[in-house]
């Protein structure tokens, strides 16, 4: 049986310059937080042409519990889907090569079991979001559409996620969207299924320019959202929404009165949920 408890899903497209450095820095955090040998990288190369695969193979050689999944063409949603399907851990942490947060990872790992899905939001605390106003406006516009069309109660469906894989696998198998709206469908289905979701603020700093033309990206997102609307009509909400928002200081100052009270309340709700299932 595998000793892996946490799978770190890393979609990679032309990341030869950054993949190795990311793995070295994150591996040190994972050894400290999860434990050496208790985690794995699941690197999903989707159509890279810059030698990303060679770097990924070296990472797998260095950390043998890890895996490389190779896809023939660029597709971020397909990369996430295949990475989650290939994961061996009970828990999964979805990141981008240049977008992960040790604070979120540590908090989620310490409190794993409280939530089925934790979303790392770049929008829930504007003091942490150092991106250009143009990108902030686009993110606001997309999320406003999700709130209006789908009743989404959070602030972000893209980016980092920490999830309980055995609980979310049935949701994963029902997802039909790929490209940029896979994780949106995944999140909406989890919310509508009555699973326990939480949102935590994460920092975001633009380290490199956009790879895709924003006009083309906006057009693709709008087309995908229209398709997602048709898809989600077949999965209406049947239970009350279970969604909690945490402040950044709740993650970094767990000894505070506010954080302690909130944690106690969430734990009480979780026990009630488990008791109702048994009953």
Kindly report, residue by residue over 44-55, the tens digit of the pLDDT. 999 999 999 999
Confidence of residue 183 (pLDDT cuts 50, 70, 90): very high
Domain boundaries, the chain: 6-247
Give helix 19-33 / helix 52-62 axis angle, nearest 10°.
30
The superfamily (CATH) of domain 6-247 is: Spore Coat Polysaccharide Biosynthesis Protein SpsA; Chain A (3.90.550.10)
Contact 87, 41 (CB under 8 A): no
Q: What is the DSSP string of 118-141?
A: EEEESSS-GGGB-S-HHHHHHHHH
Q: Is the pTM of this model over 0.75?
A: yes
Q: How many helices (H) and strands (E) does the chain have?
A: 10, 8
List the one residue out of 272, 33, 243 whose CA is nearest residue 117.
Answer: 243
Kindly tell me if the per-residue pLDDT of 217 is higher than 60: yes
> For position 169, what pLDDT does the model report?
95
pLDDT bracket for residue 109 (50, 70, 90):
very high
Contact between 119 and 197 under an 8 Å Cβ cutoff? The reply is yes
pLDDT of 160 > 80? The answer is yes
* C-beta separation of 243 from 153 below 8 A: yes
Helix, strand, coil abundance in the chain, percent, nearest 5: 50, 15, 35
For the beta sheet containing 6-12, the strands, ordered from the edge strand earlier in sequence to the opposite edge, are 67-71, 39-46, 6-12, 91-94, 161-164, 117-121, 196-201, 242-245
> Are 66 and 36 within 8 A, CB to CB?
no
Q: What is the pLDDT at residue 279?
A: 52
Report the C-alpha gap between 170 and 143 in whole angstroms: 25
Nearest to 124 by CA among 244, 258, 206: 244
| Alpha helix ranges (H) inside 233-256 | 248-252
CA–CA separation, 231 vs 214, rounded Å?
25
The residues that bridge with 245 in the sheet, in sequence order, are: 199
Angle between helices 182-192 and 165-174 (to 10 degrees): 110
Locate 75 and state its tokens.
Answer: 């597709």
pLDDT at 52: 94
Q: What is the dihedral of CA 146, 150, 153, 159, to 10 degrees?
A: -50
Give the 3-state secondary structure of residue 181: helix
Residue 99 DSSP code: B
Max mean pLDDT range (24-38, 138-152, 206-220): 24-38
Is residue 5's pLDDT more than 70? yes
């Amino acid at each position: 049986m595998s000793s892996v408890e946490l799978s770190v899903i890393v979609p990679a497209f032309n990341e030869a310059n950054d993949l190795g450095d990311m793995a070295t820095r994150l591996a040190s955090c994972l050894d400290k937080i999860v434990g050496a040998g208790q985690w794995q990288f699941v690197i999903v190369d989707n159509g890279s042409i810059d030698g990303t695969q060679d770097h990924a193979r070296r990472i797998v050689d260095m950390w043998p519990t890890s895996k490389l999944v190779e896809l023939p063409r660029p597709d971020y949603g397909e990369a996430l889907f295949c990475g989650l399907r290939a994961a061996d851990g009970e828990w999964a942490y979805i990141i981008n090569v240049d977008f992960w947060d040790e604070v979120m990872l540590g908090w989620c790992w310490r409190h794993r079991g409280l939530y089925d899905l934790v979303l790392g939001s770049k929008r829930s605390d504007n003091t942490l979001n150092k991106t250009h106003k143009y990108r902030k406006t686009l993110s606001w516009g997309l999320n406003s559409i999700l709130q209006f069309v789908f009743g989404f109660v959070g602030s972000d469906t893209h980016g980092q996620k920490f999830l309980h894989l055995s609980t979310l696998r049935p949701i994963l198998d029902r997802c039909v969207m790929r490209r940029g709206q896979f994780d949106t469908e995944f999140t909406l289905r989890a919310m509508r299924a009555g699973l326990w979701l939480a949102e935590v603020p994460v920092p975001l700093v633009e380290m490199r320019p956009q790879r895709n033309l924003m006009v083309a990206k906006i057009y693709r997102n709008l087309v995908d959202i229209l398709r997602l609307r048709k898809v989600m009509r077949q999965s209406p909400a049947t239970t009350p929404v279970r969604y909690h928002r945490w402040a950044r200081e709740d993650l970094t100052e767990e000894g505070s009165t506010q954080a302690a009270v909130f944690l106690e309340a969430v734990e009480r709700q979780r026990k009630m949920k488990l008791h109702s299932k048994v009953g």
